[in-house]
Amino acid sequence: MAIISINLKDGTLDSGSEVIVGIDLGTTNSLVAYMKDGQAVCVKDDTGKNTLVPSVIHFAENGAVLVGDAAKAKLITDPGNTIYSVKRLMGKSYADLTAVQGFLGYKILDDDKASLVKIRVKDHYYTPIQLSAEILKALKARIEKELQAPVAKAVITVPAYFNDNQRQATRDAGKLAGLDVLRIVNEPTAAALAYGIGLDTTQAEIIAVYDLGGGTFDISILQIQDGIFEVLATNGDTFLGGDDFDSAIVTFFCSQLKIEREILAEDKSLGQEIRLLAELAKKALSRSEKFEGKIGNQTVHITRAEFEAQIAPMVQKTLDCCSGALQDAKLTTDKIDKIVMVGGSTRVPLVHKSVAGYFGKPVFNSLNPDEVVALGAAIQADILAGNQKELLLLDIAPLSLGIETVGGLMDVIIPRNSKVPTKAGRQYTTSVDGQKNLKIAVYQGERDLVENNRKLGEFTLRGIPPMPAGLPKIDIQFIINADGILNVRARELRSGVEQETDIRPTFGITEEEMAAMLLDSISHAQEDMRSRGLLEARNEADHLLQAGVKFLKQNENILTPEEKKETKMLLDALKTAADSSDKDNILQAVEALNSYTAPLAHRAMDQTIQAAMQGKKVS
Ligand code: AMP
């Protein structure tokens, strides 16, 4: 057995005592949290009051970039240069976004090459990754100020339904902000951790995480077992949240003021004034039974019962989503052990009452619902820092891992973003008769050709018993343990030959190198496809050339002189084509040889069978 022991990130085991922060990178607001004296806390702004950083970025005329409250203030005065809701664009192509573009005040551009969206601000084009990185930089600065020390490592949360592209985009944003993103954690998982759910690894349970924010609603059903959180189902509505509650109150106030709601579209400042008062009313009604306020010199008022009547259909819509998620998970409400509330809008009494009623049990809502995800991320970060050693939570492999195969192609065994710990394997064989040794070279990276990836090490499996090419079964297993250490094992299954070799990693890999490798793989995607196509065509040609020579030799007596001549000619043509760099040429030559020899091969086979049958009869 051959073993390579490598820490995939830097070639060493983490010593683990530095601060790793938890970040909730939200659609509307973002937060950063860390463990302070054994307790997860969110970091406040300079005023010492707010933990939320509005996820808004403003680009000033002089090139200055503002993030947070200061940028939010520009939403009204300079909307074209103020970007919000960037999370909705992460990892998306232009085609994915046609539905949302109308909602955004800024310009989304189609980028032909990468087909990922870009956002135009003045003469600059920004990717959602770059924009998210600006928010992350602001959070990094906030925590560094608090701790008076540099912070380089983070855990970032994403919605459970985020796909690989969106998760990778989030990781890349972290890298751009100078953060080593140790783990991407699902938001519902973080919320559960904040309540200590899942920390007792002996307990198995099923939980529902109900997340109603300003603009979106998500419900996730998670199964927790042995400290592993598995998402059973997600459902939701990407355009339903507290903003809609505000809007319902705006309509209510308009009728009291005896004005048409439509005029607010024209009178923007009146619209803004009523909207702000509506949000104030909504928040007040979470504590009091009634609210009274003023617009100009006119009084508006709303009771909690009136508010609840307005929003009841929206709350019902969220419950319908819960039913959808349960149905997908093939569960009923009585199978849900705990319900965790996330998002500012779960403060609305009708919301938590309705959810508790729907599931038939009280909900977890004692923590600040705006902070709960960030707090959980900080707990996860603390576990990663090695401060809660008994806990094992899943990570993902940041780059693909694979081996070199014929022609220098990268054969991926563990794809990028796979959950860690993980194990994957594949069987290989020899390409030459009697081959005794097989070189196994391990690479990390996203490019199709190994020469463009990073070599982690290589070893040779020796002592394979002589067999015809293609007969040995060489099993190669990649195992990544919870520490991110990769073990590679090679074994010839027919003979049981194993080899043991220790390989040291060539060099450590920095976050910048990792970022560069990823960007490289994106920018070279087309070129890689071409070279992979050429190499595959060449491999096929080589294989066919060998088989063709064998065929001619074995069927000397069956083929006519013309058939032999034509086959030889086609073989020569294929050889010439294989030496060229023209994939189509090679494939044409392969096709020509194949189609000419196919009937000959059939005939040869028939005659061999006939001969065998006659032989049988004779005996
Ligand atoms: P989030 O996206 O999780 O930050 O949620 C923000 C939403 O929660 C906004 O629509 C806020 O108006 C709403 N919200 C915040 N505090 C309260 C409250 N006390 N009562 C009702 N809604 C609230």
Ligand 1 binding pocket mutation candidate from 87, 239, 282 (most atoms within 8 A of CB)? 282
pLDDT reading at 42 higher than 80: yes
From the CA of 88, how far away is ligand 1's center (Å)? 19
588 to each of 211, 406, 578, how far by Cα in Å? 57, 21, 11
From the CA of 354, how far away is ligand 1's center (Å)? 17
Cα–Cα distance measured from residue 38 to residue 378, given in angstroms and rounded to the nearest whole number: 11
From the CA of 241, how far away is ligand 1's center (Å)? 9
Q: Does ligand 1 come within 6 angstroms of the Cβ of 347?
A: yes
Given a contact cutoff of 8 angstroms between Cβ atoms, the answer to whether 348 and 236 are in contact is: no
Sequence length of the chain is: 619
User: Beta partners for 36?
Assistant: 39
Q: Does ligand 1 come within 6 angstroms of the Cβ of 54?
A: no
Q: Are strands 180-186 and 205-212 parallel, antiparallel or unpaired?
A: unpaired
Answer with the residue of higher pLDDT: 258 or 507.
258
| Element of type H or E holding 404 | strand 401-405
Planar angle of CA 14, 20, 25, nearest 5 degrees: 130
CA atoms within 13 A on the CB side of 361: 12
Cα–Cα distance measured from residue 429 to residue 544, given in angstroms and rounded to the nearest whole number: 17
Cα–Cα distance measured from residue 133 to residue 511, given in angstroms and rounded to the nearest whole number: 14
pLDDT reading at 341 higher than 90: yes
Cα–Cα distance measured from residue 512 to residue 178, given in angstroms and rounded to the nearest whole number: 9
- Chain center to CA of 192: 20
Closest CA to 368 of 230, 195, 522: 195
Q: What is the pLDDT of residue 505?
A: 34
Instruction: Return contacts of 168-171, CB within 8 angstroms, 24+ apart.
Output: 168/91, 168/416, 168/417, 168/518, 169/90, 169/91, 169/128, 169/129, 169/132, 170/25, 170/90, 170/91, 170/132, 171/398
Residue nearest to atom 8 of ligand 1 (CA): 344
Answer with the residue of higher pLDDT: 338 or 414.
338
Q: What is the pLDDT of residue 393?
A: 46
From the CA of 315, how far away is ligand 1's center (Å)? 14
Q: What residue type is assigned to position 299 of the chain?
A: T
pLDDT reading at 417 higher than 50: yes
pLDDT reading at 601 higher than 90: no
Instruction: Please report which confidence band the pLDDT of residue 368 belongs to, taking 50, 70 and 90 as the band edges.
Output: very high
163 to each of 9, 92, 118, 514, how far by Cα in Å? 23, 10, 19, 20
Tell me: the pLDDT tens digits for 272-295? Answer: 899 999 999 999 999 999 999 999
Task: Give the single-character DSSP code of 37.
Answer: T
CA atoms within 13 A on the CB side of 228: 11
Planar angle of CA 109, 111, 117, nearest 5 degrees: 55
Q: Does ligand 1 come within 6 angstroms of the Cβ of 283?
A: yes
Instruction: Please report which confidence band the pLDDT of residue 1 belongs to, taking 50, 70 and 90 as the band edges.
Output: very low
Q: Does ligand 1 come within 6 angstroms of the Cβ of 348?
A: yes
Where would I find the beta strands (DSSP E) of 168-310? 180-186, 205-212, 217-225, 228-237, 290-295, 298-303
Count CB neighbours of 515 within 10 A.
15
Q: Does ligand 1 come within 6 angstroms of the Cβ of 213?
A: yes
Cα–Cα distance measured from residue 236 to residue 221, given in angstroms and rounded to the nearest whole number: 12
Q: What is the DSSP string of 431-461?
A: SSTT---EEEEEEESS-SBGGGSEEEEEEEE
Given a contact cutoff of 8 angstroms between Cβ atoms, the answer to whether 198 and 188 are in contact is: no
Cα–Cα distance measured from residue 155 to residue 34, given in angstroms and rounded to the nearest whole number: 10
Cα–Cα distance measured from residue 445 to residue 402, given in angstroms and rounded to the nearest whole number: 8
Q: What is the pLDDT of residue 316?
A: 98
Q: What is the pLDDT of residue 544?
A: 86
Residue nearest to atom 9 of ligand 1 (CA): 214
Q: What is the pLDDT of residue 153?
A: 93
Q: What is the pTM of this model?
A: 0.66
Q: What is the DSSP string of 53-83?
A: EES-EEE-TTS-EEETHHHHTHHHH-GGGEE
pLDDT reading at 501 higher than 60: no
46 to each of 21, 52, 133, 373, how far by Cα in Å? 19, 12, 21, 22
Domains and CATH numbers, the chain: 10-195+369-384 (3.30.420.40), 242-309 (3.90.640.10), 401-523 (2.60.34.10), 526-613 (1.20.1270.10)
Cα–Cα distance measured from residue 541 to residue 225, given in angstroms and rounded to the nearest whole number: 51
- Chain center to CA of 495: 41
Answer with the residue of higher pLDDT: 406 or 237.
237
Cα–Cα distance measured from residue 105 to residue 352, given in angstroms and rounded to the nearest whole number: 33
Q: What is the pLDDT of residue 600?
A: 85
Token representation of residue 571: 């073989």
Mean predicted confidence (pLDDT) in 28-53: 95
Tell me: the pLDDT tens digits for 87-137? Answer: 988 887 776 666 666 666 677 776 554 456 788 888 888 989 999 999 999
Cα–Cα distance measured from residue 341 to residue 363, given in angstroms and rounded to the nearest whole number: 7
Token representation of residue 413: 């065994």
Closest CA to 395 of 422, 373, 425: 422
Answer with the residue of higher pLDDT: 542 or 30.
30
Q: Which atom of ligand 1 is nearest to the CA of 27?
A: 2
Directed axis angle between helix 583-618 and helix 561-579, to 10°?
A: 150
Q: What is the pLDDT of residue 395?
A: 52
Q: Does ligand 1 come within 6 angstroms of the Cβ of 279?
A: yes
Output the average pLDDT for the chain: 85
Give me the numbers of helices (H) and strands (E) for the chain, helices first please.
16, 30
Given a contact cutoff of 8 angstroms between Cβ atoms, the answer to whether 408 and 531 are in contact is: no
Mean predicted confidence (pLDDT) in 485-507: 69
Alpha helices in 218-303 (DSSP H): 242-257, 263-266, 268-285
Name the residues annotated as catalytic: 24, 87, 187, 211
Given a contact cutoff of 8 angstroms between Cβ atoms, the answer to whether 398 and 42 are in contact is: no
Residue nearest to atom 19 of ligand 1 (CA): 283
Cα–Cα distance measured from residue 360 to residue 87, given in angstroms and rounded to the nearest whole number: 33
Q: Does ligand 1 come within 6 angstroms of the Cβ of 575?
A: no
Cα–Cα distance measured from residue 510 to residue 345, given in angstroms and rounded to the nearest whole number: 41
Cα–Cα distance measured from residue 604 to residue 558, given in angstroms and rounded to the nearest whole number: 6
When mean pLDDT is compared over 86-100, 203-217, 578-592, the highest value belongs to 203-217
Lowest mean pLDDT among 53-62, 344-353, 381-390, 538-547: 381-390
Q: What is the pLDDT of residue 354?
A: 98
In SS3 terms, 78-145 reads as CHHHEECCHHHHCCCEHHHHHHHHCCCCCEEECCCCCCECEEEECCEEECHHHHHHHHHHHHHHHHHH
